[in-house]
Amino acid sequence: MSKILLVAPVPTHPSTTGASARVRHMAEGLLSMGHEVHFLHLQQALWASDTAMRQYWKDRLHVFRGLTPASFVGRGRRKLLRVTGKTFHLNLPVDSYFEPACARYVRELLAHHAFEVIIVSYVFYSRIFESVPGPVLKLIDTHDVFSDRYGLYRAHGQAREFFSTGRAEEGKALDRADAVLAIQEWDANHFRSLTRKPVAVVGHLAPAAAVAPGGAVGGTRAMLFVGGPMGINAHGVAWFLDHVFPTVRQHVADAELWLVGGICGRIDSAAPGVHRFGFVDALEDLYGRAAVVINPQQFGTGLSIKSVDALLHGRPLVTTASGARGLEEGAGSAFVQAGSAQEFGSLLVDLLRDPERRAALAERAADFARSYHQRNLQALADVVNVATAR
């Protein structure tokens, strides 16, 4: 077994975003294999609490805050660069988020721990690998594709969203690693066009939740959406409210839309039947009570983790082609996919009216999720086991 260091700019606990959940479940998967896993949090918020993480990681948690005067100047410069890039729809250098003091912290950490594997989240932190000795296996968990990302967002009216870089810059980041982890096959093919380093597909790693026999689903007429405040989510929910929800309510008068998570701060609809729950600790309860889970996402890259989470909870899912990205093999069996607002509404009306169909779809979703999890866990094990074979 190996001693592994996970590095990410997002906290593992609490897991309020898909990225946080990705890192946490990767850690849990590696621990289940018997590896010793440590976590280095590249803390972005200056005064964020790490109490929940310390309870989980104990002495295996390491935190880089970078609170020196020099770091504040550097933070300001990098922030200005990123804001400029988002404002004017520009690709940025891939190292635009990187803080040099972080590299020194990693070198000190490696001097005290004999890590055999280091897994860094996101291409824009790949420069960390320049501080890692050659014998250590260096893996980059990409999470998403960032080449020319600004164009996709601009085409859908979503300016100032996250990060975009050029193909050559993204390729430079990938070349710093020994191997690349892609979250779905389309991403993997993109990365293979940028680097000669091996690329493995390791999808979302959350284990499937326990599902009631027969795929039983709560008796409400609620349609559940769980998501953060990102523009992709706000755009998709707004589309749903404008083009799908009124039709559903015409045919199913007591149908409700339940919004959970950061998305609630981006949606101010006062339409009858719309309920905003905010952040909820016991998501399992809401998943169990909802009749259907929806993902009306209209565009995006990477894997839509909210769709995976619906399947992992054994829930009937209605989504779009964008929301099904990376899960295409389950379309029509583990979940249903709509090609238009009219079809999205029709599928929901049918499911809300037919509890037996919902239960059958939920059962197939759970079966798919179990297979999906095991496949991705094995893919991760295959990549990490290279360190043992060295």
Q: Could you read off the pLDDT of 296-333 as tens digits, one per residue? A: 999 887 788 899 999 999 999 999 999 999 999 999 99
Query: Mean of the pLDDT values across residues 235-259?
Result: 96
Pick the more confident residue, 160 or 339: 339
Whether residue 279 is predicted with pLDDT greater than 90 in this model: the reply is no
**Class of domain 213-371 as given by CATH:** alpha beta
Question: Looking at the domain that runs over 3-202, which CATH code has it been given?
Answer: 3.40.50.11930
Whether residue 47 is predicted with pLDDT greater than 70 in this model: the reply is no
Q: What is the mean pLDDT of the chain?
A: 88
Extract the tokens encoding 228.
């953060």
Locate the DSSP E strands across the chain.
3-8, 36-42, 61-64, 117-121, 137-141, 179-182, 199-201, 222-226, 256-260, 274-278, 292-295, 317-319, 336-337
**Domain pair 3-202 / 213-371, same fold:** yes
pLDDT of residue 150: 79
Q: Could you read off the pLDDT of 193-227 as tens digits, one per residue? A: 999 999 999 999 988 876 554 444 556 899 999 99
In angstroms, the CA 187 to CA 202 distance is 11
pLDDT of residue 37: 98
Length of the chain (residues): 390
DSSP string, 302-319: S--HHHHHHHHTT--EEE
Q: Could you read off the pLDDT of 330-361 as tens digits, one per residue? A: 999 999 999 999 999 999 999 999 999 999 99
Query: Mean of the pLDDT values across residues 167-178?
Result: 97
Q: Where are the domains of the chain?
A: 3-202, 213-371
Phi first, then psi: give them for residue 256, nearest 5 degrees: -130, 155
pLDDT of residue 35: 96
In angstroms, the CA 320 to CA 343 distance is 10
pLDDT of residue 377: 95
Query: Mean of the pLDDT values across residues 166-184?
Result: 97
Query: Mean of the pLDDT values across residues 379-390?
Result: 81
When pLDDT is cut at 50, 70 and 90, the band that residue 11 belongs to is: very high
Output the CA angle 290-296-298, nearest 5 degrees: 165
Whether residue 16 is predicted with pLDDT greater than 80 in this model: the reply is no
